[in-house]
Structure formats: structure tokens, C-alpha cells
């Protein structure tokens, strides 16, 4: 049984399978980067989603929370993904962190805009 509807969709409805070639070692390619991103988002929103979406604290606080989580999620990911060299790992971690910051900034604005619209509609 699949715990993630997205994984079920990809494998059983769209028939996407794991690639037959080994993953690139100088960058995190797809679908691995998507899985890494999904792992972070699931963990962040599971642990912090209610407070983040209700705008408790500020965005700077949540970026700090995300940075600590990026470290643990990325390090766990590296146990399964063959990036070569410290420089490549550092560069890919920075890429991941930058993308996570963009995700949170976008989500923060979306929630804020939705809250404003809710008050206008009242």
C-alpha cells in the first residue's frame, strides 16, 4: 500500500519507473531532486505547517527552521545518492537550500494574500 498518493500516481497511473542508468554524480538529477524536495516539504509541513500557515512568528524564523531541516534531510539523502566530492555536495546543498527558501517565501505570500482576501470578502 502506498502512503503517498503522488507515488501511486507516478508509478501506477503514469507508468514512470526508476531510470535504468545510474544517477549523475555531479548534480542531483530528476526524479531524485524531486524526491528530496518532497521529503523536505512533507517533514516541514508535518512538523510546522499549522504555525507556518497561520503566520505565527515571521518568515525569518521559518527560514531558520527550514535551514536546520535542510541540513538533516540533505544529509540523510546523501546516504543513498552518490555525489562526488565535498565541493559538489556543498554546491548541491546550497541549490537545495535556495530552492527551499523560494518555496517558503512563495508559500508565505500565498497564505498572506489568502488571509487578506478572506477579510475583504467578509
CB 66 within 8 A of CB 101: yes
Residue among 49, 63, 50, 53 at smallest CA distance from 112: 53
Residue among 76, 44, 75, 46 at smallest CA distance from 62: 44
Q: How far apart are CA 12 and CA 16, in angstroms?
A: 8
C-alpha cell at 80: 543513498
**How would residue 122 be classed by pLDDT, with cut points 50, 70 and 90?**
very low
For residue 87, pLDDT beyond 60: yes
Q: How far apart are CA 35 and CA 15, in angstroms?
A: 17
| pTM exceeding 0.85 | no
Q: What is the pLDDT of residues 23-69, one digit of tens each?
A: 556 689 888 999 999 999 999 999 999 999 888 999 999 999 999 99
Amino acid at each position: 500500500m502506498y502512503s503517498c498518493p503522488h507515488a501511486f500516481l507516478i508509478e501506477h497511473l503514469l507508468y514512470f519507473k526508476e531510470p535504468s542508468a545510474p544517477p549523475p554524480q555531479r548534480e542531483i538529477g530528476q526524479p531524485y531532486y524531486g524526491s528530496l524536495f518532497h521529503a523536505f516539504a512533507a517533514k516541514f509541513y508535518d512538523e510546522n505547517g499549522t504555525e507556518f500557515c497561520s503566520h505565527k512568528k515571521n518568515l525569518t524564523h521559518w527560514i531558520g527552521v527550514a535551514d536546520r531541516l535542510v541540513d538533516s534531510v540533505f544529509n540523510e539523502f546523501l546516504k543513498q545518492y552518490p555525489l562526488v566530492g565535498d565541493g559538489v555536495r556543498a554546491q548541491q546543498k546550497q541549490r537545495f537550500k535556495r530552492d527551499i527558501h523560494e518555496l517558503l517565501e512563495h508559500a508565505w505570500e500565498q497564505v498572506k494574500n489568502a488571509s487578506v482576501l478572506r477579510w475583504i470578502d467578509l
